[in-house]
Amino acid sequence: MKEEPLLNEDDCIVVPVRNEITPHFRRVGNPSFGKRLGRAEDNPTHDNCVNYLYDELNNKNIEAVKFSTYVFAEDRTYEEQVIFSPLKDSDFGWYKEKDARIAFHEDSYIQPDIGGRDRNKFFPRSAYPNIIIEVIRTHYPERDTFQKLLELSKTNHHVYFYFI
């Protein structure tokens, strides 16, 4: 605690209070975020998938990341269609869960599974969008979370659902 601050689940700094009768910790400041929208997925399969994707996105041996889908024909053949590929001068940083929180003006926030942005740009642009990845195992995001994702998708954020 002398070299690094101690943080609680709301990312607020807590300090020890020396009290002989009831020693405890005291929060310094207010939470950075208000009410969380949506619920957390608590499943090892989901968590393993999030960790796998996060590790792959941060893999230094991968030169370029691209987001694609498969387009199927009536004869069951398919081809890959690239939806988005960052420009060559992009330098995306990737964050997961607590570090990927997105706050909104009415004191609420969402916590995507994975979020990414170009480290060289403070504000997302159409050529350098912020990326949100939601891993879907058994259920879609709740309505209020989905509405926030839709709102973000209109402001240079790409929202991708990864189904497992």
Helix extents (H) in 58-154: 143-153
pLDDT at 151: 96
Tokens of 118: 């170009």
Q: Who has greater pLDDT, 42 or 33?
A: 42
Per-residue pLDDT tens over the stretch 121-140: 999 999 999 999 999 998 88
Query: Does residue 91 contact residue 118 with C-beta atoms inside 8 Å?
Result: yes
Cα separation, 90 vs 38, whole angstroms: 31
Tokens of 142: 């709740």
C-alpha torsion 102→58→11→101, nearest 10: 10
Ranges 5-19, 29-43, 107-121: which has the least confidence = 5-19
The pTM is what?
0.80
Catalogue the long-range contacts made by 95-104 (C-beta closer than 8 Å, 24 or more residues apart): 96/50, 96/51, 96/54, 97/50, 98/11, 100/132, 101/33, 102/132, 102/148, 102/152, 103/32, 103/33, 103/34, 104/148
pLDDT at 31 over 70: no
Strands 108-110 and 35-36: parallel
Residue type at position 131: I
